[in-house]
Structure 1
Amino acid sequence: MNLDFSQIVPYIPFMLEGIWVTLKFVSASIVIGFIIGTLLALCKITKIPVLKVIADIYTSIFRGTPLILQLMIFYFAVPQLTGYDIEPFSSAILAFGLNSAAYVSEIIRAGIMAVDKGQTEAAQALGVPYKSMMANIILPQAIKNILPALMNEFITLTKESAIVSVIGYLDIMRRAQIVGADIYRNFEPLLFAGVIYWLMVYVLTQLGKVVERRMRYSD
């Protein structure tokens, strides 16, 4: 089969550095996505029509267009309009964070709607302000219910992070491509990158199960 994994051994430390590089921008993206997604979810359930329309349009745009297109717009097109270059790291965070917010908003909205209406009615009867009710009563219950879906979104972002290689960001995939070009062999470094991605997803999946189990037992 003409395989020689010994040639990538000297490059293993270089490729492993991509794990931290990848997790760094993915973690930042999920935080941004969660914050903006929560705000969008609240806009979708509000009684103010304008906010509902804005949130729906936002979600429609970011869910209806390819993530790679959004990434390339931030990296190539925005600098053309503004005259300022955006670093690959910043472009990746913006694209992945804003894209994730669209999906997270739907997850959180569904979680909020799944909370027993009696909770809201009881809070309103006691005169609890809307902000306090959402922050201390509704959202904590919603988050507990949607935790598996949020973990799945984090896992999805981790896998899709390979897309940033198209803008030269030195993630795992980009490093595998560099190694392949250097040794004129692509199967070995790409397979090694695939193993790294699989291990990352496996660890995240197990971590999600542990957190979900603890939250279930805390009820």
Structure 2
Amino acid sequence: MTMLGQLDFSIVGPGLPFIWIGLLFSLKLTLVAMSGGIVLGTLLALARTSSKVAASRAAAAYVNTVRSIPLLMVILWFFFLIPLFTGAPMGAENSALITFTAFEAAYYSEIVRAGLNSVPQPQRFAAAALGLTKIQALAHVVLPQAFRNMLPVLLTQTIVLFQDTSLVYAIGAKDLLKAAEITGKNYNRPVEMYLFVALIYFSICFCLSTLVKCLQKRIAIIR
């Protein structure tokens, strides 16, 4: 009680501009990595389910390798090693955007692959019977059903992705956690700012989790 009584949350107000900037970057990183990750993940999933052995093995090697390495290590490797090859620094923000997109693609790939496998085989036969090519069947029959089935899992992975954005703190990117650190140091109240940011993380993740539960119920009704 004594420790709680010493907390002073009056500095939250003056610190909001810093927190807002950090939150915007965290949300931008989440949206970019989610969008790019789903696109690249879909391509990887299609390659893994392809009848072409070379494409399937290459995609499997990428996915298995990336999923076996901690995200923090990938962030640090990319941030420190890429400039050695390019000869020019990329900056913490750009490095984070590229790293997260490439990393998340491996996880979204497995979700998409499971979604593709969830579509009954007779659906593909029916599409072929209607004269659709493989690409047309994939675009108009398979993928729409697959994405509907895997939408809750995609959102769940996105929640994890949003939480993982705090790891860019390690390379100095100005995300939500970094904003809390800067504000806490400026006003000499780090505990209050970390608690406030933790509340923001919880609120956003809780709302998204509630949305996932609603989607799961809705999809279950459709089935």
Give the TM-score range, shorter chain: over 0.9
Question: What is the Cα deviation at residue 193 of structure 1?
Answer: 0.7
> Bigger CA drift: 142-151 or 90-99?
90-99
CA distance in 1 between counterparts of 2:107 and 2:134 reads 24
C-alpha contact (below 8 Å) 1:59/1:102 kept by paired residues = yes
| 1:141-160 Cα deviation digits (max 9, x unpaired) | 01010111000011111111
CA distance in 1 between counterparts of 2:60 and 2:144 reads 24
Q: TM-score, normalised by structure 1?
A: 0.92
The number of aligned residues is 219
Could you tell me which of 42, 48, 61 is aligned with 1:44?
48
C-alpha contact (below 8 Å) 2:149/2:219 kept by paired residues = no
1:126 aligns with 2:130: yes
5+ long unaligned stretches in structure 1: none
> Which residue number corresponds to residue 197 of structure 2?
193
CA distance in 2 between counterparts of 1:156 and 1:190 reads 19
CA distance in 2 between counterparts of 1:116 and 1:182 reads 58
CA distance in 2 between counterparts of 1:143 and 1:92 reads 27
Question: What is the Cα deviation at residue 73 of structure 1?
Answer: 1.8
- Which AA in structure 2 matches 1:204? L
> Bigger CA drift: 173-182 or 38-47?
173-182
Q: TM-score, normalised by structure 2?
A: 0.91
> Which residue number corresponds to residue 34 of structure 1?
38
CA distance in 1 between counterparts of 2:33 and 2:86 reads 23
> Which residue number corresponds to residue 153 of structure 2?
149
Question: What is the Cα deviation at residue 204 of structure 1?
Answer: 2.2
- Which AA in structure 1 matches 2:79? Y
Could you tell me which of 25, 29, 39 is aligned with 1:25?
29
| 1:14-69 Cα deviation digits (max 9, x unpaired) | 21332222111210111110000000000111110001111111101110001111
Query: Equivalent residue of 2:54, what SS?
Result: helix
Question: What is the Cα deviation at residue 182 of structure 1?
Answer: 2.1
Query: Equivalent residue of 2:189, what SS?
Result: coil
| 1:54-96 Cα deviation digits (max 9, x unpaired) | 1111101110001111111221110012102112221111111
Could you tell me which of 94, 97, 100 is aligned with 1:96?
100
CA distance in 2 between counterparts of 1:139 and 1:179 reads 45
5+ long unaligned stretches in structure 2: none
Question: What is the Cα deviation at residue 8 of structure 1?
Answer: 3.6
C-alpha contact (below 8 Å) 2:119/2:145 kept by paired residues = yes
| 1:112-131 Cα deviation digits (max 9, x unpaired) | 11111111122223332111
> Which residue number corresponds to residue 5 of structure 1?
9
C-alpha contact (below 8 Å) 1:112/1:138 kept by paired residues = yes
CA distance in 1 between counterparts of 2:106 and 2:179 reads 29
